[in-house]
Amino acid sequence: MPALARNQSSDCNSPILDLFTQVNGVLTDVAVLEFIILDKTGPGPLQVFPATGRAVVNTAALCPVGGKVSTGHFVAEYTPPLTENLGTHAIQWFFRLTPTSPEQAFEEEFEVLSEVVGTGQVAYCPLQDLRDEGFTTAQVTDARLVTLIELASRYIDSVTERFFEPRQQTLELDGRDAPDLLLDEPIIAVEEIEVLDQGIGGVAISGPVDPSSYRVYNRHLTQRLAKPDDRDNPKISFVRSDSGPRPLLGRGFFFPQGVQNIRVKGLFGYTEADGSPTGRTPLLIREVCKRLVARDLPLLSDVGGRDDAQRRWRLIQEKTRDQSYRLDKLTLQGALTGDPEIDNVLVQFKRPADLGAA
């Protein structure tokens, strides 16, 4: 979840509150884009920016003149004032693909913090989630809680060999002289596919691929289709047709064979549908992140408290008078925690053994 500190700006230099727009898995510019900021810390959402109406994003001009970062990527300029309430806020986006097309809207939550925590942290659960669970500022500061959330999130990445937020990447993959291009990461949206300059049968082939000639398998977002789940089999396939120009300079509907000769630029990550163009961190991952943070809240110097936080789930018998207890045996060991409430979720999200592309 994004986070902004009081007096910290989301802008072209630091696009913390940003939007990616796509059509059928391809990043696409919009003609009209507006937003409002809501304070959700009270009994009901309260608009805090702008004071009235909506803020307009210049979608025609690239940053820093306008609000367009790249194709299908835009930023909202907003700075929480020093008097802004701390806690959960939301940005509501309103956009039209063309000036006359129907308006689309969705809401994305973010947090306002008391101090800057940077823009590169990984956070699969918001700080407010831990506050809502009863962890007070007297027990743990915002700064330490943010650090623990990042550590837990990175642990989740390491164990599952995946990531659960949208991330921009450029991948260089091997063409296999086949119509399908297999990828390692679940696809949110593709910005560009390019065939790098390589000689195939004495003919040099290079250049961008027309987006109308291929289909992106991200139906978990565009169609909310979970069976089959394209996140477990991410790929891009050429559209088979008997008419019209053929892509790749007469090579037919195939990605030409080569070594790292296909460059795919886009947005990737294992997210789940929530009505937004990019999806959200899965709710089960968010819950696991909270539980991992709770295990690490006691300081290393607090041996008893830390031991209790990490092993209480194993307690099967306790005698308070004699101060003795008995723990159940570990059912899982190694990279996972051993706590079934955490591990049973992490196992579900582990990367399949056969998932991958060269």
**Backbone angles phi and psi of 82, in degrees to 5:** -65, -20
What pLDDT score was predicted for residue 202?
Answer: 41
The pLDDT of residue 6 is: 93
pLDDT score, position 169? 95
Phi first, then psi, for residue 152 (nearest 5°) are: -65, -40
pLDDT number for residue 328: 54
Task: Tell me the mean pLDDT per 10 residues along the chain, length 358.
Answer: 90 94 94 97 93 96 95 96 94 95 94 75 88 89 90 94 95 88 93 76 64 91 89 87 45 76 94 93 96 83 55 49 53 66 92 63
Helix axis angle for 142-160 and 340-349, nearest 10°, is 50
For position 257, what pLDDT does the model report?
Answer: 82
CATH architecture classification, 3-120 = Sandwich (2.60)
Q: How many residues does the chain have?
A: 358
Residue type, 21: T
The strand pairing partners of 335, in sequence order, are none
Cβ burial of 250 (10 Å; 0-12, 13-18, 19+) is exposed
Residue 244 near residue 163, CB atoms below 8 Å: no
Question: For the chain, what are the domain ranges?
Answer: 3-120, 123-166+272-358, 168-268
Strand partners, 266: 169, 190
Report the pLDDT value the prediction gives residue 142, as an integer from 0 to 100.
87
Tell me what pLDDT residue 137 has.
87
CB burial string 147-173: b at 16+ within 10 A, e below? bbbbebbebbeebbebbbbbebeebeb
